[in-house]
Amino acid sequence: METNVVKVVQIKAPNFQVAVFDVKGIAPLVIHRFSEKTKNQMKLKMETGKSASSKKDREPKSTDDIYAEAKYQSREGWDGFHAAAIRNAMISACRLVSFKMTLAKLSIFILQDGWDEKEPQIPLVRIYGDAIKQEDIAHVETGQPYVCVRAAYHDWTAKIKIRWDADQFSVEDVYNLLTRVGMQCGICEGRPDSKKSAGMGWGLFEVATLGNVEKPNPKKIKV
């Protein structure tokens, strides 16, 4: 004798949407990727158990080389910034509107335009604009001043492609959250939301347009 089996589904299928938001910088975007030299020194210390002697004279290095190393560049040759900068800033901005940051971590994702040439695990958002070499006086933890060389983009735009959980946010929510990032948090070096300082007023932007929303096929999403 056959019996009808009733299945109760408690977990909804993912409901994601995607939109592209055009942003325009209203302050310099300053990029400073982790130094390759410092990374190699840390690796040497890990592998040998000791670091290079501090008594050694510093090797001369061109500021042009330091400037080039400060940038993120894709395999295709264009400049970009770490896609996580936008995601982290949007999560941080949730504090301004009393939205749970832990939920935002599971609900907002940035779709990359490409991958970094040197470190192919780093997702990049493309920067539309030319970089200049920026030299600032900075201080190490001991207070000793030094010249910090970074890449700065003064007239820049980007197209931010965001995928979000539509059960948590509407497209207007995402637009407003990204706008708060651009006006209050900023991204990259010298941003107001810096963990170590009040920032330099850099990395701010305005959201120029509200992108078209699409409902993606989850099987085709690449994060």
**pLDDT tens per residue across span 157-174:** 999 999 999 999 999 999
- Judge whether 56 lies within some domain: no
Residue 52 pLDDT > 60, yes or no?
no
Q: Tell whether 223 is covered by a domain.
A: no
**Mean of pLDDT values over 115-123:** 96
- Domain of residue 214 covers 16-31+62-218
Q: Tell me which H or E stretch contains 138.
A: strand 131-139
CATH of the domain at 182: 3.30.70
Number of folded domains that form the chain: 1
Distance of CA 75 to the CA centre of its chain: 18
Do residues 162 and 110 touch, judged by C-beta distance below 8 A? yes
48 part of a folded domain? no
- Using CA atoms, how far apart are residues 75 and 86, in angstroms rounded to an integer? 21
The pair of structure tokens assigned to 110 is 């940035």
Of 21-25, 159-163, 215-219, which range is least confident? 215-219
Q: 74, 159, 71, 75: which is closest to 111 by C-alpha?
A: 159
